[in-house]
Amino acid sequence: MSRSGTGALGRVVRSGVGRRRVQTVVIAVATMMAVASAVVAGSLMVAANAPFDHAFAQQHGAHITAQFDPAKASTARIEATGRQDGVTASEGPYPLTTIRPVAPDGGHVPTLTLAGRSAPHGAVDDLDLKSGRWAAKPGEIVLDESFAGPAFELGSTLRTSDAADAETLTVVGLAVSVSKTADAWATPAQVRELASDDGPVTSQMLYRFDSAGTKEQIADARKKLAAAVPSGALLGTQSYLDTKRAADQGAAPTIPFLIAFGVLGIAMSVIIVGSVISGAVGTSLRRIGILKAIGFTPREVVRAYVAQALIPAGVGIALGVVLGNLLAVPLLADTEEVYGTASLSVAWWVDVVVPAAALLVVGVAALVPALRAGRLRTVEAIAVGRAPRTGRGQWAHRAAGRLPLPRAVTYGLASPFAHPVRTFAMLLAVAFGTVAATFAVGLTASLDAVGAAQDPEERAAVTVFSGGQSAGPEGPRPGTGDTSPPAADPAKVRAAVEAQAGTASYYGMTETEVTVGGISGPVRASLYEGDPASGGYEMIAGRWITGAGQLVVSTRFLERTGTEIGDTVRVALGKETRTLRIVGEAFDTSDDGLHLHTDLAGFATAEPQTFLVEVDADISPAAYAKKLAAMLEPLGGDAMANPPSEQEGTVLVLNAMAVLLTLMLVSVAGLGVLNSVVLDTRERVHDIGVCKALGMSPRQTVSLVLASVAGIGVVGGLVGVPAGFALHGFVLPVMGRAAGTGLPPSVLDVYETSHLVLLGLAGVVIALLGALLPATWAARTRTATALRTE
């Protein structure tokens, strides 16, 4: 009959947890970091998985945003379109106009589509007011959150135009419309008051349909709307499918990245938590034998040691969930801004599944060695638990002893071979930590390269406007913030740019729609005048255009048309048709990856709409633009200094994710090393005491312990760096394919030899940092204390 009882079992559990304080802390912290990293990765994967769809459903987004001419259709007639068959919900009509405001610093802001709404909420396009309040009276405006920044904060002002008597509006709120129905909102009366000849008031209607999942269904719905009002009353429509495509393209590259880190985190968590707990149980075999000798049954022994593992692990799991949620909040906030979604939070099931999985891993990791110990006979458990098997690793000591190194170092180098399983687990931890570091360094470098390869137009110092942009086949699309500049004579604008002091170089460009053989519907094209070398895109293959008759396309264009570099394509602009030869594949994802680039000289009817100007090094772009704008104003042109190039939001978010997850994974790897070294040091404390009695100094003791992990760090680095390099080479192209593009060499070839060497040393650094604490403890332990310790 067992003499232990429930109370005795509880005392064994409490004493075990309290006696092995270092291992208890390591188990708790390791599980905390593992769970926190899993919660962060899991929540970000959920947020990046179809973020538009989730936000669209939450906001009851508009399938179609329509713009009507109130002069051709009465308000009642427009409202009646919301009661057609197939329409499940509608809102409006809202007064709509466009303004081209001036920022507080005097700089021009892109043309804003301003909608008049008395409240943010509705059955369709239920806006998410991120900060501030809704506009309630004249002189107030709510901006889309994409405009948030130093220039436009709550309380800041903007003038509705550059006219002397222009009205001033105060920003009272920032909102998100996943449907992109407008750039800004004000009261209906305010919108009507701001209408002008250049921006007349139109009527906006928002619709949801029972069937709107395909382009064909959207086209049918649009035809019904057009038929329900007089001819010409429907000015334009915007389909949610276009907005969805752009949002999904931004989110898609995130998924492979998060999966890679998620797999690393899961694998490392299993290895670390398993090795920590099995090591803690394995080093207690002698104590287990003693417990069995005084009457504990095998089942009670197993329960006791599984409980000793689950208690600190449970604490670590609870703290990990809290920490993971805290760390995920700022990243989810950035994700909201990047993807333009409504408020995101950690999914409830992530906070349930991750802790449950962690408890399962901990339980299994503790159960396996505990069951082995429970099956051992009492005498065998006591004998096995005293020390590693006699003779294990002696060959390593003999081999290391021949090295021309201090004896303390050679002794430490041979020590890992006494516990091959534990050493292998430590090696895997270091290798995975090095893989994470290598992958993260390459990923951040690649993302920086992607940011540097952004649209060349944004990199120009000054943009000069000379003509309006072409409208799409359906007319102007509401809510897109069209930046069409006033018409001007391009020749006079060109002459003004050339005459302006400080002009270093410039080239002209126009964007228009063309038709391409093999592609149905219009395709956006950029036509260049002069030398566009400074505006060239990063090339995946081939070269940038250098003259007439040449064409540069994107990866998706080549896939869509089945063409390759060297083939010819028929391109028509109006009545002009040209045969152009593809000379390069550009890193360009704009316009669904079907944007074309060619020379303007091939089309006689085309003229440049904008000029992209580089200024001399000692010239301020803002001052240059201001002077040039004053010269161009009588001509009908304008000039604007572009803000300094900044990385896109997606790049910044991915960089933040990579840094955070890497730090967490490296920390978990270091904790795994710490635990293993603590176990080894405690097991060898008597041997260390003998060495100290023979004259080994504290410094030599530290060298011995650190040397025991140095070899593991070297091997872990040699394994981890190539694996991280290979992971980067696999994940980056997958991310590119998810975004619908290939990647240029500048994005893929980011590792330098010096970087790889330093990353190889990362394995050694992880191992040494993990072993530093127990090495210090061993050096400070008094010789007599060490000799008395078993």
Q: What confidence score (pLDDT) does residue 276 get? A: 65
- Least confident residue range of 388-397, 538-547, 676-685, 699-708: 388-397
Rounded percentage of the chain residues whose pLDDT exceeds 90: 13
pLDDT tier at 149, thresholds 50, 70, 90: low
Highest mean pLDDT among 21-30, 88-97, 279-288: 88-97
> How buried is residue 185: exposed, middle or buried, by Cβ count under 10 Å (0-12/13-18/19+)?
buried
Q: What backbone torsions phi and psi does residue 516 show, to the nearest 5 degrees?
A: -125, 135
For the ranges 60-64, 312-316, 607-611, 728-732, the one whose mean pLDDT is highest: 60-64
Q: How sure is the predictor about 153, in pLDDT bands with cuts at 50, 70 and 90?
A: confident
Q: What is the pLDDT averaged over residues 663-667?
A: 76
The secondary element (H helix, E strand) that includes residue 674 is helix 649-683
Average pLDDT over residues 100-129: 82
- For residue range 199-244, list pLDDT tens digits in order: 789 999 999 999 888 888 998 999 999 999 998 899 888 888 877 7
The proportion of the chain whose per-residue pLDDT surpasses 70, expressed as a percent, equals 77
**Mean pLDDT computed over 45-64:** 78
3-state DSSP assignment of residue 369: helix
Query: What's the mean per-residue pLDDT of the chain?
Result: 78
Asked whether the beta carbons of 433 and 667 are under 8 A apart, the reply is: no
Segment 625-633 shows an average pLDDT of 85
Decide if pLDDT at 672 tops 70: yes
pLDDT (average), residues 464-484: 45
Average pLDDT in the 353-361 region? 85
pLDDT digits (tens, 9 = 90+) for 488-497: 788 888 888 8
pLDDT of residue 398: 76
Residue 543 has pLDDT above 80, yes or no: yes
d(Cα 671, Cα 650) in Å, to the nearest integer? 32
pLDDT, position 209 = 94
Confidence of residue 478 (pLDDT cuts 50, 70, 90): very low
pLDDT tens for residues 554-572? Answer: 888 888 788 889 988 888 8
Report the Cα–Cα distance between both ends of the chain, in Å, rounded. Answer: 31
What's residue 471's pLDDT? Answer: 33
The predicted structure's pLDDT at residue 486: 46
**pLDDT the model gives residue 77:** 92
Rounded to 5 degrees, φ, ψ at 97 are -150, 180
The answer to whether the beta carbons of residues 336 and 48 sit under 8 Å apart is no
Give the dihedral of Cα atoms 415, 416, 418, 423; nearest 10 deg: 160
Q: What is the pLDDT of residues 400-456, one digit of tens each?
A: 777 777 877 777 777 777 777 778 878 888 888 888 888 888 888 887 787 777 667
- Statement: residue 291 has pLDDT above 70: yes
Confidence (pLDDT) at 207: 94
pLDDT at 647: 47
- Residues 288, 305 contacting (CB under 8 angstroms): yes
Q: 495-499, 544-548, 597-601, 778-782: lowest mean pLDDT where? A: 778-782
Residue 255 has pLDDT above 70, yes or no: no
Q: Looking at residue 146, what DSSP letter applies?
A: G
The pLDDT value recorded for residue 190 is 92
> How many distinct helices (H) and strands (E) make up the chain?
25, 20
* More reliable by pLDDT, 65 or 632: 65
Query: What average pLDDT does this structure show over 337-363?
Result: 74
Mean pLDDT (whole number) for 285-290 = 71
Q: How confident is the model at residue 637 (pLDDT cuts 50, 70, 90)?
A: confident
Contact predicate 72/359, CB 8 Å: no
Q: Is the pLDDT of residue 331 over 50?
A: yes
- Cα 692 from Cα 153, distance rounded (Å): 67
How much is the pLDDT for 94?
Answer: 94
Q: Which amino acid is at 752?
A: E
Q: For residue 272, what pLDDT is reported?
A: 66
Instruction: Give domain limits for the chain.
Output: 1-44+248-386, 64-211, 388-454+647-790, 459-641
Rg (CA), the chain: 34
What integer pLDDT is reported at residue 484 of this predicted model? Answer: 43
What is the DSSP code string of 726-785? Answer: HHHHHHHHHHHHHTT----HHHH----HHHHHHHHHHHHHHHHHHHHHHHHHHHHS-HHH
Q: pLDDT of 293-320, one tens digit each?
A: 777 777 887 787 778 778 888 888 899 8
pLDDT in tens, 586-616: 888 776 667 888 888 878 778 888 888 888 8
Task: Tell me the C-alpha distance between 284 and 16, whole Å.
Answer: 9
Give Cα separations from 557 to 514, 560, 576, 741 (angstroms).
14, 5, 21, 10
